[in-house]
Structure 1
């Protein structure tokens, strides 16, 4: 059975086989967790952007990804922490407004990454709070959606054993724990 755990930490150093990047649809990694992952993986974020865009063209066949689609890139320097893959997904932009459409887009983004992890044969995957930071979705709703998506994924999971939601700040971590 797939276990879901909320933890406090730095996702760029979290010892999961795959980590998820909360990317924009063009994989430009310009800020937030996307920039932190790009910098930690390649040293030079511009190099990781180049690698990500090349992978997107190869895997998706176009220069952008939709909600629910994912692109996989190598972990590069993150391998020293046990990370093998970075799975890029796109959550909805909320700007403080949460509704059913945004929840569905986030659910698709989470499930897309979980299914890709299954396909890659990894047992552990770590997510940041996709859409909760720069994209402005309410953290509490993001956490609820993660919990529901993992429950849905349990029915089809064969190899993934643990899903982590990694929160950087103590305040976000405590707020997330109150939701579950």
Structure 2
């Protein structure tokens, strides 16, 4: 079973095997956590993303971490929330599963996730955190030992901790 840790902090500073980037489908950088990861990793990250030719919502692709403490960046475009009736829960769950699969395939023991789709993509925080925790909790890990949910602010930290207690 994978250990789950919930913290507040800057995902770009975490010394884990992989951090997850809540990317857009182009993988070429954007705002929020995506922009922060691209800035911290340096221009090499963009150069590594260009030949990947983007990524579908719910899937994931991996690059080196370059100037980050993390060895890898796993990029996943989360769903844009409409009303929860257009496949958003399944796509968000697929984001987490796809990232965990890539982490396993690359021998990662530790992975840190931001709150995927909870920023400008508008996913309701409580629903998103329940999906995130449930998906990680039931994942059949082989080499993965620890998942960190890295929250940007205190409100999100509280939502994650409340969801974890359920």
Matching of residue 108 in structure 1 with residue 94 in structure 2:
yes
1:29/1:49 contact within 8 Å kept: yes
Number of residue pairs the alignment of both structures matches: 164
- Work out which of the residue numbers 164, 174, 177 in structure 1 matches 2:148: 164
Task: Give the CA deviation at 1:48.
Answer: 2.9
State the 4+ residue runs in structure 1 displaced beyond 6 angstroms: none
**Cα 1:15/1:108, change in 2 over 3 Å:** same
**Secondary structure at the residue paired with 1:175?**
helix
| 1:85 aligned partner | 72
Q: After superposition, what is the alpha-carbon deviation per residue over 1:60-112, rounded to whole angstroms, capped at 9, x for unaligned?
A: xxx2311342211111111xx3x1000001110015x3347101000001000
Task: Give the CA deviation at 1:148.
Answer: 1.3
Task: Give the CA deviation at 1:5.
Answer: 2.0
CA distance in 1, matches of 2:59, 2:123: 20
1:8/1:166 contact within 8 Å kept: yes
CA distance in 1, matches of 2:134, 2:85: 16
2:81/2:88 contact within 8 Å kept: yes
Root-mean-square deviation (CA), in Å? 1.5
* Structure 2: stretches of 5+ with no match in the other structure: none
| 2:54 aligned partner | 64
| 1:52 aligned partner | 49
TM-score scaled by length of structure 1: 0.85
CA distance in 2, matches of 1:136, 1:169: 16
Q: After superposition, what is the alpha-carbon deviation per residue over 1:125-166, rounded to whole angstroms, capped at 9, x for unaligned?
A: 00000000111101111110011111231xx21100011110
1:72/1:88 contact within 8 Å kept: yes
The worse-fitting range, judged by mean Cα deviation, of 138-147 and 66-75 is: 66-75
1:98/1:138 contact within 8 Å kept: no
